[in-house]
A and B are shown apart, each in its own frame.
Chain A
């Protein structure tokens, strides 16, 4: 039996297909302007990898910011519940999930069964989200993919405000004008986002194992510095960015196999 999950985030669309509750295939594409179309395309790509048709998907769950735009979804579940479930699948010992997406970040306390115990979400401000890193990488003319490694290459970290993306950007411009080493500025930027995230996570009990999910999990600098701030080592699984889509597909599977306990 095939089930699928589609996670439409602020920046990317992700899909996962499971067979009998086991992960078979995934895909990630930019979400773009037309979220409904992105949802359809990313699901098509995933089922093509498996070599099945969409009609063979027994149940589809939509999640993420654009969850209501996943046409054909049998139901929607928030990304908070899906990331917890996906993280639990990727590492059953996980008890804390920090999901950093393009415009939201969440800290989730997870029970032994992968269910959400409590959660906190960032304010509407972009500090502490992927957008913060994007703006900074642009200001420093650096590739986002190298950004985290550059941060870890500097022995020193410039001091940058962690409170506001717009203010932080003007601080970065000042540091650039003062001739401060680029890697040092980048290290400071990562420290700022890590401080912001640690403050968010501090509002729930942070227990091992702590896992980073969402697109920003790919950034080694954030993972390392957030670990420092929290005093916990941080696990970043290979499918960290897909935890939401995997969780959605798992919930779809649980729905069909009686694992569903409530709407």
Chain B
């Protein structure tokens, strides 16, 4: 793994990273930029979230030209729209769009997704000119499983590590592929919070949380803890194993699973991590998370857990955000 691998971008929570890794790519999330050049808004109306708009904005400005491609699963309307716009306006960065079923359990789900992944494999092979063998896929599955196991283990210390120690641990881990935990230092008694959302564009919210003395001890982000909660089987058909893993993860708000409930998961997180409150850090105009919020917030209210809704945009005012977060801390602390 010493040589530089080509980068492939993704935006949605469902990423068949084992397949991308076997094809010789390193998948990277396209972080939205805090500034805007207006190129994305030419094509997208104001009610499309900043994550999607900024990705298009950056692509049109040539800032993503080093990417070997963009992988999008069929999830929300905004990313569906982006797929069409990308094909038309960013033809020099190939788009690999694949079907992700809305329902994650049921008789045909796994085979449907495995077929989509087989098709995706063919398209990537045609683009790179290199075959992706089953053995390479199995090696990549094993490699991704090891990575996830390390992240998973690191996260068991999230509540007992100071934030700088935790991030230093993660950074070292990704470089050395080994988990070296810092000496536990006595932590000040801080309100423990769970965050909920799709993905965050910047670190402003974390900076504010650290300034007000709160600690994040868990999350329900689409690109958060759920991402490393399950591994893919290292035997059998590799693409079916990857499909099985994607169907096993906690559903995001655009997906449905008959037995896996986001409400139950959130209540369980609050209980097991002894959280004092929940902050919904929602990307403004994100409809799936808007619908999801109502059910989750109601469930929290029923059990008396304080919660706060923040709507984030590219230019979310730090001053207002800080007042909301501080006032929420005062509610939790019963000032």
Which chain B residue lies CB-closest to A117?
Answer: B331
A118, A123, A263: which contacts B335 (Cβ < 8 A)?
A263
Mostly helix, strand, loop or mixed at chain A's interface?
loop
Q: Contact between A78 and B320 (Cβ–Cβ < 8 Å)?
A: no
Given A261-B335, A262-B333, the answer on whether A81 and B327 have CB atoms closer than 8 Å is yes
The answer to whether B324 has its CB under 8 Å from any CB of chain A is: yes
**How many residues of chain B get a CB closer than 8 Å to chain A's CBs?**
15
B310 nearest in chain A by CB position: A121
CA distance A183 to B275 in the complex (A): 53
Taking CB atoms and an 8 Å cut-off, the chain B residues in 99-125 that contact chain A are none
A80, A121, A123: the one within 8 Å of B330 (CB): A80
Known: A123-B311, A124-B317. A79 touches B323 (CB 8 A): yes
A2 interfacial by beta-carbon distance below 8 Å: no
Contact residues of A between 47 and 90, Cβ < 8 Å to B: 65, 77-81
A80 to B323, CA, bound (A): 8
> A169 interface residue, CB < 8 Å from B?
no
Q: Is B319 an interface residue (CB 8 A)?
A: yes
Is B311's CB under 8 angstroms from A118's CB?
Answer: no
- Residue A232 CB within 8 A of the other chain: no
Docked CA distance A65–B319 (Å): 8
> Which of A78, A123, A251 has most B Cβ within 10 Å?
A78
**CB 8 Å contact bits of A81-115 with B (1 = contact, 0 = none):** 10000000000000000000000100000000001
Residue from the list B306, B317, B330 in contact with A77, Cβ < 8 A: B330
**A115 x B323 contact (CB < 8 A):** no
Answer whether residue A119 sits at the interface, using C-beta atoms and an 8 A cutoff. Answer: yes
The distance from the CB of A81 to the nearest CB of chain B, in whole angstroms, is 4
Which residues of chain B are within 8 angstroms of A117 by Cβ–Cβ distance?
Answer: 331
A116–B329 Cα gap in the complex (Å)?
11
A81 touching B330 in the complex, CB below 8 Å, given contacts A251-B335, A262-B335:
yes
Q: Contact: A262 with B327, CB < 8 Å?
A: no
Residue B326, interface by CB 8 Å: yes
A78 vs B333: C-alpha distance when bound (angstroms): 13
Q: Is the CB of B320 within 8 A of A121?
A: yes
**Do B334 and A78 touch (CB < 8 A)?**
no
List the A residue with the shortest CB-CB distance to B330.
A81
CB closest chain-B residue, reference A78: B327
| A263–B333 CB distance below 8 A | yes
**B324, A121: Cβ atoms closer than 8 Å:** yes
Would you give the shortest CB distance from A259 to chain B, in whole angstroms? 10
Question: For residue B333, which residues in chain A have a CB less than 8 angstroms away from its CB?
Answer: 261-263
Contacts of B306 in A (CB 8 A): 118
CB distance from B269 to the nearest CB of A (A): 21
Asked if residues B323 and A121 are in contact (CB atoms below 8 Å), the reply is yes
Given A78-B327, A80-B327, A123-B311, does the pair A115, B320 have CB atoms closer than 8 Å? no
- In angstroms, Cα B320 to Cα A73, docked, is 21
Whether A119 touches B335, Cβ cut-off 8 Å, given contacts A65-B319, A124-B317, is: no
- Chain B nearest CB from A59 CB (Å) reads 14
Are B330 and A116 in contact, CB atoms less than 8 angstroms apart?
yes
Q: Mark A119-162, 1 if CB is under 8 A from B, else 0.
A: 10101100000000000000000000000000000000000000
Cα–Cα distance between A242 and B253 once the two chains are bound (Å): 44
Q: How far is the CA of A25 from the CA of B219 in the complex (A)?
A: 47
Contacts of B327 in A (CB 8 A): 78, 80-81, 116, 119
In the complex the two chains form, what is the Cα distance from A32 to B335 in whole Å? 30
> B311 contacts which chain A residues (CB < 8 A)?
123
Q: Measured between C-beta atoms, what is the minimum distance from A261 to chain B in Å?
A: 5
Report yes or no: B334 in contact with A262, Cβ–Cβ below 8 A: yes
- With both beta carbons as reference points, the residue of chain B lying nearest to A108 in the complex is identified as B327
Contact present for A104 and B320 (CB under 8 Å)? yes
CA distance A81 to B315 in the complex (A): 26
Chain A residue nearest in CB terms to B323: A78
Give every chain B residue within 8 A of A80 (Cβ-Cβ): 323, 327, 330
Residues of chain A lying within 8 A (CB to CB) of residue B315: 124
List B contacts of A116 (CB < 8 A).
327, 330-331
- Complex CA distance for A124 and B324, rounded to whole angstroms: 12
Instruction: Write out the residue numbers on chain A whose beta carbons fall within 8 Å of the beta carbon of B320.
Output: 104, 121, 124
B residues 18-36 near A (Cβ < 8 Å) are none
A124 to B314, CA, bound (A): 12
Specify which chain A residues have a CB less than 8 angstroms from the CB of B326 in the assembled complex: 78
What's the least CB distance linking A98 to chain B, in Å? Answer: 15
Residue among B311, B323, B330, B335 having the largest count of chain A Cβ atoms under 10 Å: B335
Cα distance A261–B334 when bound, in Å?
A: 6
In angstroms, how far is the closest chain A Cβ from the Cβ of B303? 15
The 8 closest A-B pairs by CB, nearest first: A262-B333, A80-B327, A78-B327, A81-B330, A78-B326, A261-B334, A116-B331, A262-B334
Besides the contacts A81-B331, A262-B333, A262-B335, what 16 more A-B pairs have beta carbons closer than 8 Å?
A65-B323, A77-B330, A78-B326, A80-B323, A81-B327, A104-B320, A104-B323, A115-B331, A115-B335, A116-B330, A118-B331, A119-B331, A124-B320, A251-B335, A260-B335, A261-B335
- The chain B residues found within 8 Å of chain A, CB to CB, are 306, 311, 315, 317, 319-320, 323-324, 326-327, 330-331, 333-335
Binding site for B on A (CB under 8 A): 65, 77-81, 104, 115-119, 121, 123-124, 251, 260-263
What would be 15 A-B contacts, judged by CB atoms less than 8 Å apart?
A77-B330, A80-B323, A80-B330, A81-B327, A81-B331, A115-B331, A118-B306, A121-B323, A123-B311, A124-B315, A124-B317, A124-B320, A260-B335, A261-B334, A263-B333
